[in-house]
Amino acid sequence: MEQRKLGGLEVSAIGLGCMGMSEFYGPTDEQEAIATIQRALELGVTLLDTADMYGPFTNEELVGRAIRGRREHVVVATKCGIVRDPNNKGVRGIDGRPEYIKQACDASLRRLGIDRIDLYQLHRVDPRTPIEDSVGAMGDLVRAGKTRFIGLSEASAATLRRAHKVHPLASVQTEYSLWTRDPEDQGILDACRELGIGFLAYSPLGRGFLTGQIKKPEDLAADDYRRFSPRFQGENFKKNVDLVGRVEETAGAKGCTPAQLALAWVVAQAPFIVPIPGTKRRRYLEENVGAVAVHLTREDLARIDEIAPPGVAAGLRYPEFMMSSVNA
């Protein structure tokens, strides 16, 4: 597979987000999840993205089991900064204090069963802790040999610039897709280009909506958190289904699936962008990886811009209480 650079870290052009293998998107199957990770490695995917809050904690353990004996073929990316109570999973906080970051890194290393994390990311910027202090602690982890590279998640362009002065950032991870193009007009992609920082696009399939597999709210499991997402509710849902219909038509004309078109679009935006679609099943993984073979011409990209211009999606990408944790 094509390789791309996140700062100085080389990874496959498409990575694998592992969050849904442990929670959030309905029932889970650990055996199938591990098989999916291992199949990804066989297909040339090298980047696996997880976080301590997924599960919480259990997703890192799952990834660790899946890569045992395969460590040399994997770029392991994990995150800290969102704190959850295992006894009340709905309770969350944000912590970017240096002492917390260092403790969290040691805990992630134990759960993953590895001696060094390839990419350690701050999941959310802590408004109570100067970003210089948080990134300073992450730089200490690099110098201690506990992580190779560091990055941020959901950070503004201004925050990226402040952080990068303290210690070079390899990446910033933010939602980016045909229905979430905020990084374009918020200057985040421009900052990445200017500073040589890679961009990890999470939810590049619109939390599954852009695959065309979700036609009505009942297609989601009763415990699927997307049922509480503004874009999956009421009139917003109906409008967004219409958008997906246009994506499906364009994909059909191109001879690929809607998911492949959506991923190919993200890949085509800049050479420093790496989408990390999440899936917990091998069949969807193989479909996603097939996006690397989809070449979009200038005319294709212009057509896609017509059907999915910035701001086209109806509804906030997170509920308001979750949007408040996004650094702007």
What residue spans define the domains of the chain? 3-206+266-294
Q: What is the largest CA-CA distance in the chain?
A: 53
Q: What percent of the chain has pLDDT over 70?
A: 100
What confidence tens digit (pLDDT) does each residue in 221-262 have? 877 778 888 888 889 988 999 999 999 999 999 999 999 999
- Which residues on neighbouring strands pair with residue 11, listed in sequence order? 4
Q: Which of 101, 103, 94, 104 is nearest to 132 (CA)?
A: 101
- How much is the CA Rg of the chain, to the nearest whole Å? 19
On average, the pLDDT of the chain sits at 94
Contacts of 92 by beta carbon, 8 Å cutoff, 6+ apart: 53, 82, 83, 84
pTM (2 d.p.): 0.94
CA distances, 219 to each of 214, 224, 230 (Å):
6, 10, 16
Average pLDDT (22-39) is 92
Pick the residue with more confidence: 215 or 40?
40
pLDDT reported for residue 213: 86
Reported confidence tier of residue 328, pLDDT bands at 50, 70, 90: low
pLDDT: is 33 or 325 the higher one? 33
Can you tell me the mean pLDDT for 205-218? 88
- Contact call for residues 32 and 280 (beta carbons, < 8 A): yes
Q: Indicate whether 42 pLDDT > 70.
A: yes
Active-site residue identified among 54, 120, 176, 202: 54
Angstrom distance (rounded) from CA 200 to CA 176? 9
Is the CB of residue 15 less than 8 Å from the CB of residue 3? no
Residue 274: which pLDDT band, with cuts at 50, 70 and 90? very high
Mean pLDDT of all residues in 196-218: 92
Bridge partners, residue 83, by sequence: 93
> What integer is the mean pLDDT of 165-172?
98
CA 135 to chain centroid: 20
Cis ω for the linkage preceding 98 (within 30 of 0): no
Domain 3-206+266-294 adopts which CATH fold? TIM Barrel (3.20.20)
d(CA 185, CA 135) in angstroms, rounded, equals 25
pLDDT computed for residue 322 by the predictor:
77
Residue 225 appears among annotated catalytic residues: no
